[in-house]
Structure 1
Amino acid sequence: MRLKQIKLAGFKSFVDPTKIPFDNALSAIIGPNGCGKSNVIDAVRWVLGESSAKNLRGDSMTDVIFNGSSSRKPISVAGVELVFENTQGRLAGQYASYQEISVKRQVNRDSESSYFLNGQKCRRKDITDLFMGTGLGPRSYAIIEQGTISRLIESKPQELRVFIEEAAGISRYKERRRETENRIRHTRENLDRLNDIRVELGAQLDKLSQQAKAALQYRELKTNERLLHSQLLVIRYQELLTQTDKLEGELSALELQSAQQQVISQQSDTSVTQLKQQLAELSDSEHQFVEQYYAAGNNITKLEQQLKHQQQQDTQLQQQINALQQQLAAGEHAIAALQDDYQRLLGHAKELTPQYEQAQAALELIDEQLAVVEEACDE
């Protein structure tokens, strides 16, 4: 079985769909550092089922998706497809007759991986089972890179035995044996559990048989109970019929009494209605008297306040009268004094009257002289 072609799309540095053909049995990929040679080996490991991001030189499985660059945007899906030539029939199982085998793996940003065999979706276990015993696998001896030789030389006998068994082609059978042993162990554990369940169910069956007997006895007793209950109901029904006849007679008598009581009740209702009307009239009268009482009380209060106010005003007026009387007495004394002064001034005026007349005559003379002087001045 020989690797015929590798198809990469979005895997690490292979952002564009890339095909790497291997036409010859001996092929080489050469190039400068950083051109992606190691990414080809990582792609082969990854598509063959590598589940450790550390072995792919990353922190998580989504690191294999192209994260973008200054000139390219990141993408969301990475895929790698290996095409093998199976002309020698090295593969076993249902794919032994195929001349060409295609193995493909895809992963998205949600870390969801998908495997495909010849275009049909499958499990990772189907891939590992397909290449088991052929030397191919994510960590098999067929992929030799830096440190692989030293790891083979320095490996422990147990680790070296794994590579020898893989090369001898018996790892497939050992894996099947391990799976078979696991199944046998699980089957024995299931048998032990079934044994415990059987014992438990046996104990439950004994209890259920006792319960079944009790149920049968209960059913018989229940049937007798129903029969006795029906007979008891018939007896009670007959007794109830007798009581019904008796009660009907009593009911007729009570109906007559009820009719009489209704007549009395109607008369009582009429009396009650009249009394209620009288009570309403008395209540209205009471309300009127109460209102008049409160109104009279308010009037009395107002009159008392007016009386107090009038008393205060009377007191103030009496005080004012006393003050006015004092002022009147003082005024009378002043009037008497003024009358004396008036009489005195009247006598003095009489004495000055001749002098006033002389001064008036002199003033007229002076006015005449003044007129003459003014005329002279005008001239």
Structure 2
Amino acid sequence: MYLKRIELHGFKSFADKSVIEFQPGITGIVGPNGCGKSNISDAVRWVLGEQSVKSLRGSNMADVIFNGSEDRKAQNVAEVTLVFDNEDRFMNVDYNEVEITRRLYRQNNEGEYLINKEPCRLKDIVDLIMDTGLGRDSLSIISQGNISTFADSKPEERRGMFEEAAGVAKYRKRKLESIRKLERTKDNLDRVEDICLELEKQITPLKRQKEKAEIYVDLKDQLQSIEVNVLVKGIESLSDSLNELNQSLDLLDKEKVTIEGQILINEQQNESLKKKMFDLDQEVNGLQGQLLTAMNNVNQLETQKVEIDANRKHILETTNKEDLEARMEQLKAILQDAISEYNDRVNRYNETKEEKLTLEAFQEKIVLK
């Protein structure tokens, strides 16, 4: 495993994207003061998870972003990528080439970590490079002042550096994590014991509640059974009532059909009676006309009778006995004919009157129906 190249864009003095290839034979990077040699080591430490702004020679983390110059405007993001050759699988990932990238945005001061262009956590990067000698505090990266710092550091701090260089830091970290897990487990066990003690205190009231609950469930089941029986009986009763009502409804439907048929027949009869009544009205009107004619004839006959009586009286007064007898005989004949015609017309009048009364009674009976 070795570092193949570094890609920098917007980090400190690297405003433009810069790629530094580490081909075989390169042993160092040289240059005049202020050309950015230290910025390369800062970039490596920054990608590997350096969080100390002081170690990166700044006042805040945004200082690692190119801040602009007289000729160039400031950048809004800083990005550095380390590309490692991993054909020997020294890093525990199944890639021949491993890219570790870190970004920082000026606007919200938020950062991103990526492994082979996939977002990840800082912890994933730390776990990946652990025991490879590339930790941010390892001896693989020694900046200005590290030697004096190492000489002046406490034994515990020097021990951490040696463990990192020797490759046992991972196991020490795992040991510390295991110890912390054991402590958390012990705390959880203590909490469980406290909970058990508290629950033991609640057992007796819970037993009473359980007995009450069992009684309640039993009574509830009985009540449910009773309610079901009541509902079943109610449903049966309602079903019988419904059947009776359906039968009554069928009978009513049949009666309705019969009544509708009878109504239709009555309507037909009514139409026939109306027609017959109309005919009878016409006939009554005709008979009334005949009656009126007969009454006129009777009046005329009575007038003629009066005239005949007057003529007879006059004749008796003016003629002799023989002529009078002859005239009497003639007048008797005429009178007899007139009386016969009068009686005939009176009989016809009475018959017409009786027939009229009969028709009027029949008409009133039809109207009442």
> How high is the TM-score relative to the length of structure 2?
0.56
Partner of 2:85: 85
Paired residue type of 2:27: S
Question: How far apart in 2 are the matches of 1:173 and 1:222?
Answer: 62
SS, match of residue 54 in structure 1? coil
Check the 8 A contact 1:83/1:103 in 2, yes or no. Answer: yes
Partner of 1:205: 203
Partner of 2:173: 175
Q: Deviations over 1:90-149 (max 9, x none)?
A: 22x3x1x43221110011121211111111111101111111112112121101122222
Matches within 5 A, 1:1-379: 1-91=1-91, 93=92, 95=93, 97-109=94-106, 110-215=108-213
Paired residue type of 1:166: E
Check the 8 A contact 2:9/2:18 in 1, yes or no. Answer: yes
SS, match of residue 184 in structure 1? helix
Question: How far apart in 2 are the matches of 1:203 and 1:195?
Answer: 12
Assess, with a 3 A threshold, how the Cα gap between structure 1 residues 11 and 211 changes in structure 2: closer, same or farther.
same
Count of residue correspondences: 223
Q: Which piece of structure 1 moves more, 196-205 or 76-85?
A: 196-205
Question: How far apart in 2 are the matches of 1:118 and 1:170?
Answer: 26
Paired residue type of 1:122: C
SS, match of residue 164 in structure 1? helix
Check the 8 A contact 1:9/1:17 in 2, yes or no. Answer: yes
SS, match of residue 105 in structure 1? strand
Question: How far apart in 1 are the matches of 2:9 and 2:135?
Answer: 21
Assess, with a 3 A threshold, how the Cα gap between structure 1 residues 220 and 186 changes in structure 2: closer, same or farther.
closer
Paired residue type of 2:51: S
SS, match of residue 55 in structure 2? helix
What is the CA-CA distance between 1:177 and the residue it aligns to?
1.1
Question: How far apart in 1 are the matches of 2:215 and 2:86?
Answer: 77
Question: How far apart in 2 are the matches of 1:5 and 1:72?
Answer: 26
Q: Deviations over 1:353-374 (max 9, x none)?
A: xxxxxxxxxxxxxxxxxxxxxx
Paired residue type of 2:13: S
SS, match of residue 151 in structure 1? helix
Check the 8 A contact 2:135/2:164 in 1, yes or no. Answer: no
SS, match of residue 141 in structure 1? coil
Assess, with a 3 A threshold, how the Cα gap between structure 1 residues 131 and 217 changes in structure 2: closer, same or farther.
closer
Assess, with a 3 A threshold, how the Cα gap between structure 1 residues 210 and 63 changes in structure 2: closer, same or farther.
same
Paired residue type of 1:23: Q
Question: How far apart in 1 are the matches of 2:64 and 2:151?
Answer: 30
What is the CA-CA distance between 1:222 and the residue it aligns to?
10
Question: How far apart in 1 are the matches of 2:202 and 2:134?
Answer: 56
Question: How far apart in 1 are the matches of 2:203 and 2:15?
Answer: 69
Question: How far apart in 1 are the matches of 2:121 and 2:215?
Answer: 60
Question: How far apart in 2 are the matches of 1:134 and 1:220?
Answer: 70
What is the CA-CA distance between 1:209 and the residue it aligns to?
1.6
Question: How far apart in 2 are the matches of 1:112 and 1:222?
Answer: 62
Paired residue type of 2:18: T
Question: How far apart in 2 are the matches of 1:4 and 1:217?
Answer: 79
Question: How far apart in 1 are the matches of 2:97 and 2:214?
Answer: 73
SS, match of residue 189 in structure 2? helix
Check the 8 A contact 1:105/1:116 in 2, yes or no. Answer: yes
Q: Deviations over 1:288-328 (max 9, x none)?
A: xxxxxxxxxxxxxxxxxxxxxxxxxxxxxxxxxxxxxxxxx
Partner of 1:279: none
